[in-house]
Structure 1
Amino acid sequence: MATRLGLSLPQNKQYDIGRDVPDVARAAEEIGYESLWVYERALFPEAASQGLYGIEGLPWPDSYRGVAEPLVTLTLAAAATRRARLGTSVLVAPLHVPFQLAKAFASLDAASGGRVVAGLGTGWSLDEYAAASVRPFEERGQILDEVIEVCRAVWGPDPVTYEGRLTKISSATVAPKPARPIPILLAATNKKAQRRLVDKADGWMPVGLGAGQLAAQWRALQDLAAERGRTEPLQAVLRTNAAYSAKAYDGADRGPFQGNVEQIVEDLAAHAEVGLDEIFIDIQGATRDAQELKDVAAELYTAARAAGI
């Protein structure tokens, strides 16, 4: 069975969000992409407290200057499409009030006919936490736990009751409900986060950094699920951050998903062999405008399907 393919929506600063998001969403669905994805970057610090991903000295990419809010972006896409799933990869959960986030996801799922996928993470930016977080950075794991619990409660049957550190719901009706249970996927990168994923979530959202590394991580996660007595299968959706260029990259140091369409498809094929449910491609950082994004997305999709992906 072919791997499902998705596409990231245009959120970065070079795009006109109101015009380009619906346009790209419609085009992607017509091309054949089965899902549409957004990510979260709350701000761009002019003097960052730390480097990209918390790595000292690694600069933030200029594409992060002005990233559109993820659920607003998905709402624009939902109104322009009929079939494609609508996912976050990832939404930084502790930057949001748990109850309001749960209600927003439920409303979007109800409005879209059951197409939402909630991909959540804890983030890494101290500057984003200083500006927006409901609790300090050091408590990010605990807040993600509460977000998951509140979502499950709010999305479940009425009356809803819940008592946590941030959230207290005393026997209330909370509607609208999602059209179906919204899957929660986590971008778990360490052992503690992986245990949370196995115990509380529906699946995993890795980033494509090499097929061999991905396969080892997937085996380890499945082994952990077996150790902890999980019986439900884990879903897995791979994010690929493609450094697309019109010309082939001919250096020996070519990274995963770096280069032209042929090279990116070669990497897609290698990662698809790992056996995940879905792969989505983020090319928005390398395309000048929505038209180029649509053209490259169409070329990638055709080439990937021709390669048996």
Structure 2
Amino acid sequence: MKFGVPLGLLHPAAWKDVAVAADELGFESMWLPEHLVFTTDLSTAHYPGATSPGIKPGTPLFDAPAYLCWLAALTSHVKLGTAVQLLALRHPFVSARAFATLDVVSAGRAVCGVGAGWYRGSGTRPGCRSRAGGARLDEAIEVVRRLWSEPVVAHSGRFYSFPEVAFEPKPVQPHLPVLAGGESDAALRRAALLCDGWISMPHTLASIRPRLAALARLRSGVPVTAHAYELGSPDEVAEWAALGVERLIVRPWTRGRDAVAHLTRFATAYGLTPPVAPGLTAAGYGLTPRRPRPDRHRLRPDAPVGPGLTRPHGVVRRGDGRWCRRSARPPGGCGGGGGPWAGRRCRGTPGARPMSGDGGGHGRWSRAPRR
């Protein structure tokens, strides 16, 4: 079973820490929801299965693929998905470019979860009174998949028409996964016939069974991602797997400030395996030897410099007795941070010593102060 983390249920200030923790602990994916605006009329904000409005008008909103691009730079293994992106609210060029960019900068970790949206307040395109959101979404899925895979694309449809265009770069993944979210019959048909899987709303084992049965009648073996916020114990995971669920999006915390601690406990209890970090051996320890870099400034062993020989112009003796070209020294004469002059005497000054007598905490050497 793969486990994902829903960032949208946390304050945005916690997203960075939770994303990094999820990546290091072995969670398979993390997910962001998407809305463009919230209306002040809360009568349109009934979240399925909830008795109170699911949103507040002042909730901070971000562009999900753009924010995931930033999180991609902070992580190395975890997949980055939307749950879900309101694909029909934008032209397919915009959506295709956003997810292609995310896939490139994340080295192939993007997952495009799409849906018509549960929130009626953002269920239509800005400035458009038509509510043909499902049909528009289906056509948008078709267009973005063609843009991601075909050298040139021309399209003439009910909602979008454009002449032949090229779209580069393509996503890193040969087939960027598109998952359909939603609980309606139309959403299940979209998941079974147009997309690569289905993303459910929050469910329990009992509540998800009817939807899974309806999905199986459309097509068997559809990959399922389920939001399981009430997951009771590790023993329950096998029951979800028996229903055909391959990924569970879990929320093991009750307060956002405790999210990282609860993720750590969850990873231990459910046997998540931290990924092997780049540069480590398969056993998880010991650095992989790097290819040594040649020192362009060091003289060859057979260079005619030594006792009884004339020193070439521009060559000086380093603190360890070796000869080096003067240009090898960084500006200021002191080398810090592990360079070839780290810990060496500055400009060959007699009596040079580390600042405060111990290198000043950074390994640099400095001229002795005047007295």
- Report the TM-score range of the alignment, normalised by the length of the smaller protein: 0.7 to 0.9
- Are residue 60 (structure 1) and residue 54 (structure 2) matched? yes
The structure-2 alpha-carbon separation of the partners of 1:91 and 1:264, relative to structure 1 and needing over 3 Å to count, comes to farther
The structure-2 alpha-carbon separation of the partners of 1:279 and 1:88, relative to structure 1 and needing over 3 Å to count, comes to same
1:120-159 map, 5 Å:
120-129=114-123, 132-133=125-126, 135-136=128-129, 138-159=131-152
Query: Which structure 2 residue ranges, 5 or more long, are not aligned?
Result: 273-371
**Among residues 228, 248, 255, which one is paired with 1:287 in the alignment?**
255
**Among residues 234, 246, 252, which one is paired with 1:277 in the alignment?**
246
Q: Aligned-pair RMSD on alpha carbons?
A: 2.8
CA drift of 1:211 comes to: 0.7
Aligned residue number for residue 177 of structure 1: 170
| CA deviations over 1:209-245 (Å, ceiling 9, x no partner) | 221332332233122115xxxxxx42211123x3xxx
**Under a length normalisation based on structure 1, what TM-score does the superposition of the two structures give?**
0.77
The structure having more radius of gyration, on CA atoms, is 2
The answer to whether the 8 Å contact 1:10/1:24 transfers is no
| CA deviations over 1:171-208 (Å, ceiling 9, x no partner) | 22111101121111112422233222222111111134
| CA deviations over 1:55-86 (Å, ceiling 9, x no partner) | 99742344972233311221121111121111
Letter in 2 for 1:216: P
Aligned residue number for residue 297 of structure 1: 263
Q: What CA distance in whole angstroms lies between the structure 2 residues aligned with 1:206 and 1:276?
A: 10
Q: What CA distance in whole angstroms lies between the structure 1 residues aligned with 2:162 and 2:59?
A: 37
1:206-217 map, 5 Å:
206-217=200-211
CA drift of 1:129 comes to: 3.6
**Under a length normalisation based on structure 2, what TM-score does the superposition of the two structures give?**
0.65
The structure-2 alpha-carbon separation of the partners of 1:195 and 1:47, relative to structure 1 and needing over 3 Å to count, comes to closer
The answer to whether the 8 Å contact 1:265/1:300 transfers is no
| CA deviations over 1:237-294 (Å, ceiling 9, x no partner) | 1123x3xxxxxxxxxxxxx45xxxxx4656656434423111122467x4233xx211
Q: What CA distance in whole angstroms lies between the structure 2 residues aligned with 1:118 and 1:25?
A: 18
Aligned residue number for residue 79 of structure 2: 85
The answer to whether the 8 Å contact 1:159/1:172 transfers is yes
CA drift of 1:137 comes to: 5.6
Q: 3-state SS of the aligned residue for 2:193?
A: helix
**Among residues 3, 12, 17, which one is paired with 1:15 in the alignment?**
12
Q: What CA distance in whole angstroms lies between the structure 2 residues aligned with 1:73 and 1:218?
A: 32
The answer to whether the 8 Å contact 2:252/2:266 transfers is no
CA drift of 1:162 comes to: 1.5
The answer to whether the 8 Å contact 1:116/1:182 transfers is yes
* Larger RCO (CA under 8 A, 6+ residues apart): 1
Query: Which structure 1 residue ranges, 5 or more long, are not aligned?
Result: 227-232, 243-255, 258-262
CA drift of 1:166 comes to: 3.7
- Are residue 6 (structure 1) and residue 4 (structure 2) matched? yes
The structure-2 alpha-carbon separation of the partners of 1:206 and 1:129, relative to structure 1 and needing over 3 Å to count, comes to closer
How many residue pairs get aligned? The number is 271
The answer to whether the 8 Å contact 1:265/1:304 transfers is yes
Structure number with higher helix proportion: 1
The structure-2 alpha-carbon separation of the partners of 1:210 and 1:57, relative to structure 1 and needing over 3 Å to count, comes to closer
The answer to whether the 8 Å contact 1:108/1:116 transfers is yes
- Are residue 238 (structure 1) and residue 226 (structure 2) matched? yes
1:35-46 map, 5 Å:
35-46=29-40
Letter in 2 for 1:178: P
Q: 3-state SS of the aligned residue for 2:31?
A: strand
Q: 3-state SS of the aligned residue for 1:138?
A: coil
| CA deviations over 1:140-188 (Å, ceiling 9, x no partner) | 1111112101111110121122222343332221111011211111124
